Structure 1
């Protein structure tokens, strides 16, 4: 019998790419999501159940979590600007709702809990290869709460409840729940539609990962032997490239007529992560290049899959959050 997987935020940017992959692999999937970015992001499937609901609703969780072996927790108010729009809401969803979800999952017989943290928990490091053993210095409440949840999760680990945290780089590429507010996608959108990219500074490193590789990283965590992952934390990234290098990759795909305009910046935040551990322990390595993500977005622009990509609030977390005024 196929394993049953419960995914919070399964209609989000990564979730909308992960769910079809898991269904193709034969898993039964339940998605809990507020569907703030559209109701039809996931195609109906006989092994998919979608529930419109809030992870803060513990009564709902008590009803729908039983019967699942694995929980993948993706739901959160994502990115710093959206979080800062309403810090109380951000705290309620990203931190306060977390421990009840873990407790309920464990009490209801879930045996594996996979948590999506963020590589932003490291803050700014001088070292070139930031690994999982390094100290965390989160710079914002968004990343601080991600780190807090990692600590909370560890407390619930035991032989019958496997807990694992993944710290992704910035995800890029095409999804049915598109985001245009992450660095590679921003640059690609501007290059394609305006034929000009503004690069602020340019020397800062930004680790990215193609959305297909991110999906494959979750599959690796689902399928890994519990003894290899219980209590572990894994970075997941591709290469550490500067913003200027990313802009050059975008230009090479979109067209040589694209101008790159340099704007001085005081933002020297530079992030660079090592993905050696997940490769060594689980055999996972990102295989999709950043240029693949740009190609995928270009195809989606070419064939009209994305509607008004420069302005559509459905592609920009902060614009959407401002307009719906979620409480």
Structure 2
């Protein structure tokens, strides 16, 4: 298939595009390259059929010519960003998603795989939730994902099949790594500081899934028969991979030599807590075969962080923290408060992107 991937240059997109090509698909990528300066280590760019340097709010129907399936990853990616820019979060994650889906339907695209989030379950506590459970979003980010799901469902028709992938909390290595994710963050602290620094009391539940397995789920969703996925919601992960945050910290402590758990001042309860049943995706999408567990993922992160080298500035500074990076771009006048590039910024070339005031690694 010819697959259009929005956000192909991001944390998950850089991994997903490789898996798509390995599966024999051609890939058209669209990204505005906000995080081009956030490359960790060395990156071998995936060879795409075409690359668009575009804000998803500015895509046109012509960008979807000849496309068989859309995988929509692009958006503001976490709760801190949503809290900082709630209106912009809704504009990008909700309104721009529906606009893209409507264009895709008009262009004859038959499959639309939407990257949603298990965060829509919000404050479920210790009770198990599945795709039939009532969502309870507690942040602007989670609300934006749920609203997009609701309005996408209304676009479904005989020739247009949206499918909703609610991913568990991601972790794992990527050329566009994120250190604001719990497994990555705790492991990074342990390697760089010798502390597994807890910023909550650790009693919240989190479902966890490696980004390679998230990518495998998207490949399975676009390859499945339409009647299997049409309008369906899938929790993406493994049911046994639900952990208390405290348990994640203990696994990091066991893996990183000399590391000890510590608590930040004011560490308190996290109202976001949910345990997610992922049995539906295992039964309905048998080609989705997850390969990672959290202990294995922590070992991978530890080895990589040790080999490449990791400093506190790396994961606390603006390079790999999404919130800090966007604040940096805004402060430098490179993007405005709606996260659009400033007029004086020359958009990067996909082959070798360069931005004024930002060094390219």
Question: What range is the shorter-chain TM-score in?
Answer: over 0.9
Gapped runs of 5+ residues in structure 2?
331-338, 341-361
Deviations 1:188-208 (A, max 9, x none): 000011001122212221111
| Alignment partner of 1:279 is 2:278 | no
Answer whether contact 2:192 2:310 (CA < 8 A) is retained: no
Alignment-derived partner of residue 67 in structure 1: 66
Q: Are the aligned partners of 1:278 and 1:285 in contact in 2 as well (CA < 8 Å)?
A: no
What TM-score do the two structures reach when normalised by structure 1?
0.93
The answer to which of 92-101 and 303-312 deviates more is 303-312
After superposition, the Cα gap between the structure-2 partners of 1:12 and 1:305, relative to the gap in structure 1 and judged at 3 Å, is farther
Alignment of 1:177-256 (within 5 A): 177-199=176-198, 200-238=200-238, 239-255=241-257
Partner-residue secondary structure (3-state), 1:157: coil
Residue 94 (structure 1) shift: 1.2
In the alignment, which residue of structure 2 is the partner of 1:316?
A: 321
Kindly provide the CA deviation profile for residues 118-163 of structure 1, in whole angstroms up to 9, marking residues without a partner as x: 1011121145321000111111121111111101111111221111
Partners of 1:88 and 1:125 lie apart in 2 by 25
Contact 2:9 2:31 in 1 (8 A): yes
Q: 2:216, 2:289 within 8 Å by CA — same for their partners in 1?
A: no
Q: 2:24 aligns with which of 26, 35, 48?
A: 26
Supply the distance in 2 between the matched residues of 1:185 and 1:53 (Cα, whole angstroms): 29
TM-score by length of 2: 0.84
Aligned-pair distance for 1:245? 0.8
Uncovered stretches (5+) of structure 1, i.e. residues with no partner:
none
Say whether 1:53 aligns with 2:54. yes
Does structure 2 retain, via aligned residues, the 8 Å contact 1:196–1:258? Answer: yes
CA contact (8 A) 2:130 2:235 kept: yes
Q: Is the 8 A contact 2:38 2:176 kept in 1?
A: no
Note closer, same or farther for the CA distance 1:218–1:261 as it changes in structure 2 (3 Å cut): same
C-alpha contact 1:74 1:115 (8 A) present in aligned 2: yes
Matches of 1:27 and 1:306 in 2, distance apart? 35
Other-structure match for 1:301: 305
Cα displacement (A) at 1:106:
0.5
Change beyond 3 A, Cα 1:291–1:169: same
Alignment partner of 1:110: what SS? coil
Is the 2:207–2:243 contact (alpha carbons within 8 Å) kept by the matching residues of 1? Answer: yes
Relative to structure 1, the CA distance from residue 260 to residue 39 in structure 2 (aligned partners, 3 Å threshold; closer, same or farther) is: closer
Deviation at 1:222, TM superposition (A): 1.6
- Kept in 2, the 8 Å contact 1:14–1:215? The answer is yes
Equivalent in the alignment of 2:269: 266
- Going from structure 1 to structure 2, the CA distance change for 1:40 and 1:120 (only over 3 Å counts) comes to closer
